Structure 1
Amino acid sequence: MKFSKTIKYFPFYMLSVLPMQILYFLSNCVYYFIYYMIQYRIKVVLDNLRKAFPEKSEEEIKDISKRFYRHFCDIIFESIKTLTISKEEAKNRLSLNNPEIIEDLLENGRNILLYAAHQGNWELLVYLPLMLTYPSNTFYRPLNNSYFNGLVLLIRERFGVRCVEEFKGYRTIIAQNNNPVPVMNCIIGDQSPRRKSAIHWCNFLNRKTAFYLGANIISKKTNDVVLFPRFNKIKRGHYQLYFEMIEEFPSHSEGYNIVVEYARCLENTITQSPEMWLWSHRRWKLSEA
């Protein structure tokens, strides 16, 4: 099976074995191509930035957009590198700022829900099993293209993360609630929800924004600790991950406090390092009725 996947994704394995200096050179080339030549989703990015930061000048907005596209291209090649990166190099490229918060919770038998976002290089969350020896699941929305969906799964599961399709997320978390071994579950919470989904509207980046209620509902039922993983970029290709407490005892939380606090954490993080959020995503497709 491993050999067949290597053959299937051979071009990406060939890219992955290249030194990071060469991969970053390729990233620079892709940046110039998508930003200056095809202008990939540039209208979406600029519109999102202008509405999120109305106080910023047009020059500042364009500067953030350029830094975002550079960062976005780096994410692509950093993720491809995961196919062949050594465990030692992976741990060198992602350090934990406050690992004690998550280690203490797991050692005390508490399951953890990482309420993550498309911030920093979220794909590097798959390195966590190298540093925290506990089962780890991530819930994802399958890509329409089966070939690239398979590639993404191959990358994300390489170090032991179990990928679970989002529609199976609730059942998976509930089923593991009686497991004697504590588990980390990761949910990305900043996608644009579907109209018929359970949602809550928050004030976020100067707009009324819909957020999925899934993590709010699940954590209140399971009482799993909810943490927000925030990326800081030390230098190109090197990140530090900080865990911010959203709710330690969700079953005691009232209403939609968890999703509201998540939106606050994410907004603060974006404000500090705006280039590291996924501005090309059509986040505000859903408008308040």
Structure 2
Amino acid sequence: MSRRKKSVVLQRVEYALYRAVAAGANRASDQAIARWGKRLGRLSRNLLRRRDALALRNLSAAFPQMSAEQRRGILDACWEHFGRETLRTIRMQNLPVAEIAIRCPFVNAELLEQAIARGRGVILISAHFGGWEVGGLALMSLVKNVRTIARPLDNEFLERDLGRIRARTGAEVLDRRRAARAMLKALSENAVVVILPDQAVLPREGVLAPFIGRNAWTTPAPAKMALRLGSTIVFAFCIPDATGHRLEFEETIFVDQLSEEERDPVALTKRINDVISRRIERRPELWLWMHDRWKGTESEGVNGE
């Protein structure tokens, strides 16, 4: 489904607001970032009432055993988290890659290094969870041959700025709408391809797979690519903490060691969703509940059956 293009005037207004916020964030202390980020999250919530209502519905369906007060507490923390992360990410984008790595140390990085050593390409799975943008910047200090699958921003001025940042760090972004061929080429060159498959796709593009206990239309592309080329799947999540962030690698999947039943693309997609779901269930306030993850599945079963 194509999106209506924003007017140039609206894009310029958005860009001007972004530049003003960025100027303040780049001069602010860590304490000020935390304080103003919290306020930014609360302001966003007041402006985006429909997204707030959607997030609360998603939380209610995902955690029916919780009280309304508990779910509201998670959502409060969620908005504040994304307000802080917005400012932290803006500031981190202007730092040298080596400095970003100091502020975002790696945990279990040997899992990624071992996967690269196998020589068949690596599919690095993450999610819109924690500080994924910061994690992507820090990753460039560990490996250089990286491609990220993403959709271009709706604002051409912001996209241009983002392009300059990517050029400085060496990151290459593949438009997810036309990424298949480029992704195959990158993996055949033993590149690390970063994919965040936790967002809804159109039914014709996806398969139904449980996500936090409910069916969700999910892209099977990571599973299909890994099975086709024998690429290793590694998971990574960037977790904010009191001193900054840490990028945690976990759960390597060697597709050449899977059983015949496990080598089914749908089965592997379900396994990918399961790893992401477990992370979200442990720290639900760090995930993007405002996204319509279960769009188009209202008539489907909750357990993927």
Does residue 183 (structure 1) correspond to residue 180 (structure 2)? The answer is no
Distance 1:281 1:236, change over 3 A: farther
Once the two structures are superposed, what CA deviation does each residue of 1:173-213 show, in whole Å capped at 9, x if it has no partner?
2223443xx3110111011111321x221222232222111
Q: 1:104 aligns with which of 108, 114, 138?
A: 114
Give the one of 235, 242, 254 matched to 1:228.
235
Of 137, 150, 157 in structure 1, the residue corresponding to residue 160 of structure 2 is: 150
Q: Which runs of 5+ in 2 are unaligned?
A: 1-14, 301-305
Which deviates more, 225-234 or 153-162? 153-162
TM-score (ref. length: structure 1): 0.86
Name the SS for the 1:219 alignment partner.
helix
Which residue of structure 2 lines up, in the alignment, with residue 136 of structure 1? 146
Percent of aligned positions that are identical: 21
CA 1:164 to 1:15, structure 2 compared with 1: closer, same or farther past 3 Å? farther
Q: Which has the larger displacement, 124-133 or 64-73?
A: 124-133
1:17 is aligned to 2:26: yes
In the alignment, is the contact (CA less than 8 A) between 1:232 and 1:239 conserved in 2? yes
**Alpha-carbon displacement from aligned partner over 1:149-192 (angstroms, at most 9, x marks no partner):** 3334444444111111113321112223443xx31101110111
- Mark the CA change 1:132 to 1:38 in structure 2 (over 3 Å): closer, same or farther: closer
Counterpart secondary structure, 1:249 = helix
- TM, length-normalised to structure 2: 0.82
- 2:263 aligns with 254
Is the alpha carbon distance of 1:204 and 1:176 closer, same or farther for their aligned partners in structure 2, counting shifts above 3 Å? closer
- Work out the number of aligned pairs and report it: 280
> Which residue is 1:43 aligned to?
53
Letter of the 1:244 counterpart: E
8 Å CA contact 2:200, 2:295 repeated in 1 = yes
Q: 1:219 aligns with which of 219, 226, 242?
A: 226
Deviation at 1:129, TM superposition (A): 4.3
d(CA) in 2 for partners of 1:280, 1:85? 29
- The match for 2:128 is 118
Report how far residue 78 of structure 1 moved: 1.8
Tell me: CA distance 1:117–1:76, structure 2 relative to 1, closer, same or farther (3 Å). same
In structure 2, relative to structure 1, the CA distance for the partners of 1:37 and 1:260 (3 Å cut) is: closer
C-alpha displacement of 1:250: 7.7
Contact 1:126 1:159 (8 Å CA) reproduced = no
1:155 to 1:43, Cα distance in 2 relative to 1, 3 A? farther
Q: List aligned pairs for 1:2-13, cutoff 5 A.
A: 11=20
Q: Residue 172 of structure 1 corresponds to which residue in structure 2?
A: 182
Give the unaligned 5+ runs of structure 1: 1-6
Residue 245 of structure 1 aligns with an amino acid whose one-letter code is T
The one-character-per-residue Cα deviations of 1:20-79 (angstroms, maximum 9, x if unpaired) are 333333212212322356646210111000000000001100100011111111221122
Q: Give the structure 2 partner of residue 204 of structure 1.
A: 211
Confirm whether residue 281 of structure 1 aligns to residue 288 of structure 2: no
The corresponding residue for 2:3 is: none
Residues of 2 paired with 1:265 and 1:67: CA distance? 23
Match of 1:193 among 193, 201, 221: 201
Q: Indicate the SS of the match to 1:45.
A: helix
Structure 2: distance between partners of 1:13 and 1:47: 32
Task: Kindly indicate whether residue 252 of structure 2 is the aligned counterpart of residue 242 of structure 1.
Answer: no
Alpha-carbon RMSD across the aligned residues, in angstroms, is: 2.6
| More divergent stretch after superposition (265-274 vs 104-113) | 104-113
- Secondary structure class of the residue paired with 2:294: coil
The 3 A distance-change label for structure 1 pair 13 and 71 is closer
Q: Report the CA distance shift for 1:184/1:178 in structure 2 as closer, same or farther (over 3 A).
A: closer
Q: In the alignment, which of 56, 60, 69 is matched to residue 79 of structure 2?
A: 69
Give me the whole-angstrom Cα distance separating, in 2, the residues matched to 1:187 and 1:142.
14
